[in-house]
Chain A
Amino acid sequence: MSNEILRLEAVSKAFGGIRAVNDVSFDLRQGEIVGLIGPNGAGKTTLVNLITGVHRPSSGKVIFQGDDVTRQKPYMAARSGLARTFQIVQPFPEMSVLDNVAAGALFGGDPEGLTEAREHAREHLAFVGLDKIADQPASALTLPNRKRLELAKSLAMSPKVLMLDEVNAGLNTGEIDAALDLIRAISDRGITILIIEHLMKVVMTVSQRLLVLHHGALIADGEPTAVVNDERVVEAYLGEKFAKRLKEAGHA
């Protein structure tokens, strides 16, 4: 693919005896939204950690924009345009909401100084709808707003690829809809998105492509409707019932 932006080549990671990620290869193409699903402990978070340099792969390669970035440190990943949100939100608790986002702009993006970073931060806060509470400390925010803050922070880093690790977990239906609108708006800016998600409905509505991890191995990679009907995926993850319901709902 000519417009590929990120490629994993046979990436594996073992923790002691556990093969958390096992021989995973796939690529992401510029501008697409890709869903990554899999049961608890399948290795989804570990995969993001491997891409962003938190862990170093036991074997295999990570190629970002044509460069081998397998050995990069997290801060280098951030600066080169690989941003991620954490499954468990990670704010700078005593800093203002504004400064949280300014940190993303100052270190991950490319503004000249602190004043400029704060200006950029305001724009991103307006985009996610947090501009009214920019001066509150991050620790005072509700969970949905913390998730938005994570988003604004990673957007401030002007990412090329954004990896969202369960940004919707713990949100109610209304909040999820709002979050999905936000994700689509981010995608409209041309940012490639890898979204990790447990709720099938959510992944199905937003993703253009689906990856399925199971026991660290990639067992499916393709169009969402095709993937959820794949026998192995049904067996490993979805369960017969879900597949049937989905068929009845007319997705297949």
Chain B
Amino acid sequence: MMSRLGLALFALWIVVLATTPFYADNSIVRTAIMLAMYSVLAFSWNFIGGFTGYPSFSTAAFFGLGSYAGAIAQTHGVPMGFAWVIATVFVAAFAAGLGMILLRLRGHYFAIGSIGVVEVCRLVVSSWSGVTGGGNGLNVPLLMWAPDTVGAFFLWVMLGLMVIAFALTAFVDNHRLGFGLKCIRQNEDAADMVGVNTTFYKVSAYILSAFLCGTAGAVYASWIGYIDPTDSFQILLTVKVPVMALLGGAGTVLGPAVGTAAFVVMEEFVWANFLNWNRAILGIIIVVLIFFLPGGLLKISYRRMINRLKGRESAGAPV
């Protein structure tokens, strides 16, 4: 469940991001696009990793396949919007097929299996050069508009996806599907035994975790104009996205947005200048998360923290 305040803050956040083209420079708009994109990926991951408790690392596979499906369709003359739809449907179908196999595994085995998928996809795309351009990558037809207009356009598209991902999350959270997924996370055998069709629910969650990643990948390809296998199937992406969701609070409705915002803001403004340290800092965040913030930023008891601070102040104050 989510509070009105949470919903209002989310709406405000969308407005702040959506209006960047009117008051900020191109690099901020670019950051806003990336923020929206990562939010889509984190919301998506939350369905399988958060609600269902299956630690999936296949985000980069869905994203990469989406970007390639969209790019290939576009290079064959399919209009951009339609190419995005093709990418979405393709990735959803891929996730459905893969989910039926992969979701027989539990825990670590599932995690390792899902990360393997990213590598397999990358290898297939690199080797199948007749269709994908192989290691040389693919050029996607660019929009011939003014650069500022292009930036604003892709920002609003990504934000649209982000709102869809959020709305889906809020809907699932309040309905039978989300309730069943939470049952699976807490005790899969017991879920089975109260009548949850666990296989169907898990595969549904996996598809939900995939299809918008596909769309986001295709939109990204159209925006950037060039994709290659290493950029599209990044192991780093597949780790970053769960970290963002966990940072905000996995299995919560707003967690992915909060975590992504915190992560990207830190990444852009705090350590952008320490490029060599980028991965080390990611590592540190992961360690801190595991040891100090198992519930994420949204699960911290801020009230207790404030009370404690107040208590200390009054204790330290002269009588």
Contacts and interface: CB of A to CB of B under 8 A. Distances in A.
A114 B186 contact: no
A93 B197 contact: no
A69 to B, nearest CB: 14
Interface in B139-178: 174-176
B196 A107 contact: yes
Contact of B183 (A54, A83, A92, A157): A92
Contacts of A239: none
A224 interface: no
Contacts of B176: 106-107, 113-114
Nearest to B251: A94
B199 to A, nearest CB: 8
A90 B188 CA distance: 10
Given A107-B180, A114-B174, A114-B179, A86 B186 contact: no
A84 interface: yes
A74 interface: yes
A84 B191 CA distance: 12
Contacts of A93: 186-187
Given A106-B179, A114-B176, A75 B195 contact: yes
B24 interface: no
Contacts of B179: 99, 102-103, 106, 114
A93 B176 CA distance: 19
B182 interface: yes
Interface in A76-118: 78-79, 83-84, 86, 90-95, 99, 102-104, 106-108, 113-114
Contacts of B193: 52, 74-75, 78, 83-84, 86, 90
Contacts of A52: 193
Interface string A2-40: 000000000000000000000000000000000000000
B234 interface: no
Contacts of A94: 186
Contacts of A91: 187, 190
B305 interface: no
B194 interface: yes
A103 B194 contact: yes
Contacts of B194: 78, 103-104, 107-108, 153, 157
The CB with the most chain B CB atoms within 10 A, among A79, A92, A113, is that of A92
A143 B34 CA distance: 50
A92 B186 contact: yes
A91 to B, nearest CB: 7
Nearest to B197: A75
B175 to A, nearest CB: 7
Contact of B189 (A73, A90, A106, A157): A90
Interface string B185-215: 0110111111111100000000000000000
Contacts of A92: 182-183, 186-187, 190-191
Given A75-B195, A75-B197, A157-B194, 5 more contacts: A75-B192, A90-B187, A91-B187, A103-B191, A107-B194
16 contacts: A73-B192, A74-B193, A75-B196, A86-B193, A90-B193, A91-B187, A92-B186, A93-B187, A95-B182, A103-B191, A104-B195, A106-B179, A106-B180, A108-B194, A113-B176, A114-B174
Interface of A: 52, 54, 73-75, 78-79, 83-84, 86, 90-95, 99, 102-104, 106-108, 113-114, 153, 157
